[in-house]
């Protein structure tokens, strides 16, 4: 985006945000409601219109509109409405979009360090642990260094909704050992691609909406996306019947909310705050909805769609950790990557120690009240 077009956009936003009252005041016959016309911001997601994550993005937009008293309205568009799913960061930077709802791993092609803000090595911390690192452990400053200083983007980003660990995914037959994985054409994204390639899989990085068609054409023969609801929504159960839960390949991801900096600067301070802290409000709402929907849809996949749900074997999980052990030193040859990983290790060492030492054995209690259901 040229400097002139950026300035034109700033002027437009300023007129839209503050000009309407002046126009209304100068036209005696104009109804007072004109002074209350909302500023409409354009947000595109990286998700298809039928994906539960599109609902999650709308949850954010609804909260922003309510908290602003109607002064802000967000037009939520699905992937492909303006740009492709993997292109939203560029679109926000260029001012084509005001906001995007995505995940950092989708711009991994620009810099592999993107994966460290959601799908990097798992040192023992959950997604909640790592979202806390982003806000309280120095992660946001490192994220800004990557996006603004290294990549030169005029974008401000925040993370929200700590996702449950992503399933290992969908296979046509059973896979129980690392040896069983050899030669699979598998869909994943980000550093998980490097990880699983090192374990003998051939990896294709595809957005969610392209996964099932790729399975049907034989481009891939196994895949993961993220959760039972999204998987059900795009028909994963129509192309595979073995669903493996639990994995270390992407165990700590959160949504990414991307904002054009010029758009944010042109807003009143209270509206900027609503956009920023609305991420936290939506994070709580998304978590509650995910717990209800993911569990219900997992049950549907088992009972209605004939899917066999497995827990990923210890052999494969150990293999993933060993693969991370080999990959991490390679990543740390990059000084910025090493700085991020050092920061994450320090955070997890202390925070997860408390989490694990303090947490009771929930599986023990669950098995007591619902005996025989868990197969860990």
Is 166 assigned a ligand-binding role in the annotation?
A: yes
Locate all alpha helices (DSSP H) within 112-157, ordered by sequence: 127-136, 139-144
Residue 308: phi and psi, rounded to 5, are -95, 120
Please, which residues have CB within 8 angstroms of residue 330's CB and are 6 or more apart in sequence?
none
Please, which residues have CB within 8 angstroms of residue 346's CB and are 6 or more apart in sequence?
137
Is 182 assigned a ligand-binding role in the annotation?
A: no
CA distances to 194, 248, 317 from 314, in Å: 20, 11, 5
Is 265 assigned a ligand-binding role in the annotation?
A: no
* Eight-state DSSP code of residue 185: E
Is 292 assigned a ligand-binding role in the annotation?
A: no
Is 44 assigned a ligand-binding role in the annotation?
A: no
Buried b (16+ CB within 10 A) or exposed e, 12-22: ebeeebeebee
Measure CA of the first residue to CA of the last residue in the chain; give whole Å: 52
Distance CA 178, CA 165 (A): 20
Locate all alpha helices (DSSP H) within 160-268, ordered by sequence: 191-198, 211-217, 228-233, 261-265
Distance CA 162, CA 180 (A): 31
User: Kind and range of the H or E element at 302?
Assistant: helix 269-303
Distance CA 335, CA 202 (A): 28
Query: Residue 27: helix, strand or coil by DSSP?
Result: coil
Tokens read off for 49: 């219109």
Annotated binding site for Na(+): 225
Annotated binding site for substrate: 166, 187, 224, 250
Annotated binding site: 166, 187, 224-225, 250
């Amino acid at each position: 985006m040229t400097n002139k077009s950026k300035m034109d956009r700033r002027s437009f936003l300023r007129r839209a945000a503050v000009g309407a009252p002046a126009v209304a005041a100068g036209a005696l016959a104009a109804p007072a409601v004109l002074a209350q016309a909302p500023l409409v911001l354009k947000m595109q997601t990286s998700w298809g219109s039928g994906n539960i994550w599109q609902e999650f993005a709308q949850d954010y937009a609804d909260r922003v509109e309510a908290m602003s008293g109607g002064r802000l309205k967000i037009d939520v568009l699905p992937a492909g409405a303006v740009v492709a799913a993997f292109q939203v960061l560029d679109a926000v930077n260029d001012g084509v979009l005001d906001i995007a709802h995505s995940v950092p791993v989708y711009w991994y092609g620009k810099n592999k360090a993107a994966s460290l803000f959601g799908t990097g090595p798992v040192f023992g911390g959950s997604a909640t642990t790592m979202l806390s690192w982003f806000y309280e452990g120095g992660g946001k400053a490192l994220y800004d260094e990557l996006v603004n200083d290294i990549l030169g983007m005029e974008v401000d980003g925040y993370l929200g909704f700590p996702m449950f660990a992503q399933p290992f995914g969908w296979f046509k037959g059973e896979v129980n050992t690392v040896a069983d994985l050899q030669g699979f054409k598998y869909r994943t994204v980000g550093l998980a691609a490097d990880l699983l390639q090192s374990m003998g899989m051939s990896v294709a990085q595809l957005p969610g909406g392209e996964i099932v068609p790729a399975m049907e054409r034989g481009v891939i023969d196994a895949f993961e996306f993220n959760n039972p609801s999204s998987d059900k929504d795009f028909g994963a159960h129509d192309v595979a019947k073995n669903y493996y839960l639990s994995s270390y390949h992407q165990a700590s991801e959160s949504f990414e909310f991307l904002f054009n900096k010029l758009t944010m600067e042109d807003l009143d301070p209270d509206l900027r705050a609503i956009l920023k802290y609305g991420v936290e409000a939506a994070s709580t709402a998304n978590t509650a909805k995910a717990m209800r929907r993911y569990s219900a849809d997992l049950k549907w996949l088992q009972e209605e769609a004939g899917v066999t749900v497995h827990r990923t074997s210890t052999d494969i999980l150990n293999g993933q950790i060993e693969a991370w052990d080999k990959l991490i030193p390679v990543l740390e040859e990059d000084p910025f990557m090493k700085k991020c990983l050092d920061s994450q290790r320090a955070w997890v060492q202390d925070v997860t120690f408390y989490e694990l030492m303090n947490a009771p054995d929930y599986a023990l209690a669950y098995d007591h009240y619902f005996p025989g259901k868990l197969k860990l």
